Amino acid sequence: MTVDTRGRDAPWRPANDTEDAMAQAIAGRNRDAYLAVLAAASLRVLVHGADVGPPRWRTAVEQNRVFMVAFTSREAMRIVIGQVQPHLLLDIGGLATDWPDPAWGLAVDPGLPIGSRLPQHMVRQLAALGAGPAGPPVPPAPAAPVAPAASPAPVAPVPDSGPRNGFQVVLHGAHVARYLEDGHDRVSGIAYRETDTAGLDPAELATLPGGPPPHVLAAEDGAVHVIRWLAFGADAYKPVPGGPMPRHAVTGARLPHGARLVRIGPDGTESVAGEFDAVARRWRADHPSTVDPYRGELDDGWSAGHGDAHHPALPGPDGVHLRSDGGHRLVAWNDVRSLSYRQAWCRWRGDDYAVVGVHNGWLRLERLSDAHGQHCRLHRAWAPGHEIEDPHYVKVDALPTI
């Protein structure tokens, strides 16, 4: 079965920073800049539903050549084919790892002004510039819709003045949409205390040791995006020696209630692009609640001691949200006698990985490399369970904040 990729007459404009950067690269006839953005992009690759077994890719045939079809946003998919259809969220690295046929190419946003068609060998070349494979070997069954929590407490804003006990990670530019559109609730990278980085402009933030390479930051206007959150539990963050100020390696950590995604403009002006509501699991009030279809039986996150029992918990600046009896209730920090954070780890092919998902006997893994160097790379992989060594959970005391 093929996909009609002739495009539609609906007006088009960039839906995210990735598309804006692609459009500007095309306008400036800068092929290298375009390919660098594409190498770091999150792509929505069309598949035939969510069957058990390897993905069945939907393809387009043009001039007797077969192309897999990918989009850089849901909006782009709607314009080209009329609606959002089954797809997997992958990057170039994930595609290159399990490329189905060397004769196939890749059609990105076909029919749109930012569209391109790449042969298989170019996909492999771009994979070396991206963030590592992130695609699942088997698509999961569609997740059940998330029922809204009964009268969830609103997210309290983090104070804008006074001392802060928060961490900050500069984002890979292509990952902004993953948070805002898909409800992603984990963070990986080199984290600095927000108080230590206060006053740095985007260019200075972008050059801090351990940050993403320049080509994966935000777009041409010089802005960057950062994730900020209250950090619970010093032992959950691994110190990285060296650098102009203290820094920590964060791998696959769950974000607490009230985390913020902030855009910092070239003049230093900040604007909140989204604030994480961990109860509803979304970054924007006008977005539907989401679930992670690949979490599976993974049992990580926070737990709090309250009264005579321990409960799964969602800590935040407004208190601690306790999960019990299928609902949530907010309790004050003074009423919590303990808080702990639990994270899954393993060893695979000689390296230590954080486990961030489990599905059908496969583990979704993340690790950081070159944390001591100028740029830090996030590697993602799906590993078969029989190759995993030393799977274990690490549990740390998460009080007080750091």
CATH number of residue 27's parent domain:
3.40.1350
Task: For residues 239 and 123, state if they share a domain.
Answer: no
Q: Two tokens at 259?
A: 């985390």
Boundary-marking domain end, from 77, 98, 127:
127
Per-residue pLDDT of the chain (402 residues; tens, 9 = 90+): 233 344 444 568 888 777 888 888 898 888 888 887 888 777 888 988 654 456 788 999 988 899 999 998 888 998 999 888 888 777 787 777 778 888 999 999 999 999 999 998 888 878 765 444 444 444 555 554 444 444 444 444 444 433 345 899 988 776 787 788 878 899 988 999 988 888 888 878 877 887 766 544 555 567 888 999 988 876 778 888 877 788 999 999 999 999 999 988 888 889 999 999 988 889 988 887 877 777 778 889 999 999 889 999 999 888 899 987 777 889 998 999 999 999 999 998 888 999 998 877 888 888 887 766 666 777 777 788 888 999 999 999 887 655
Residue recorded with tokens 């060998």: 121
In a domain, 223, yes or no: yes
DSSP string, 261-289: EEEE-TTS-EEEEEE-BTTTTBSSTTS--
CB proximity list for 159: less than 8 A, separation 6 or greater: 317
What is the C-alpha separation between 133 and 107, in angstroms, rounded? 19
Task: For residues 123 and 179, state if they share a domain.
Answer: no
Task: For residues 199 and 279, state if they share a domain.
Answer: yes
Task: For residues 170 and 113, state if they share a domain.
Answer: no
In a domain, 181, yes or no: yes
Domain containing 25 equals: 17-127
Please report the pLDDT score of residue 178 as a whole number: 79
Task: For residues 110 and 39, state if they share a domain.
Answer: yes
In a domain, 153, yes or no: no
DSSP state of 185: -
Q: Two tokens at 350?
A: 């000689």
In a domain, 224, yes or no: yes
Boundary-marking domain end, from 293, 324, 349:
293
What is the C-alpha separation between 286 and 264, in angstroms, rounded? 22
Task: For residues 178 and 115, state if they share a domain.
Answer: no
Is 182 buried (19+), middle (13-18) or exposed (0-12) by CB count in 10 A?
middle
Task: For residues 190 and 269, state if they share a domain.
Answer: yes
Residue recorded with tokens 């070349």: 125
Task: For residues 175 and 285, state if they share a domain.
Answer: yes
Task: For residues 27 and 80, state if they share a domain.
Answer: yes
In a domain, 309, yes or no: no
Task: For residues 122 and 178, state if they share a domain.
Answer: no
Task: For residues 195 and 277, state if they share a domain.
Answer: yes
Number of structural domains found in the chain: 2
In a domain, 160, yes or no: no
Nearest to 333 by CA among 313, 347, 351: 313
In a domain, 158, yes or no: no
In a domain, 97, yes or no: yes
Boundary-marking domain end, from 239, 265, 293:
293
Q: Two tokens at 304?
A: 């709090």
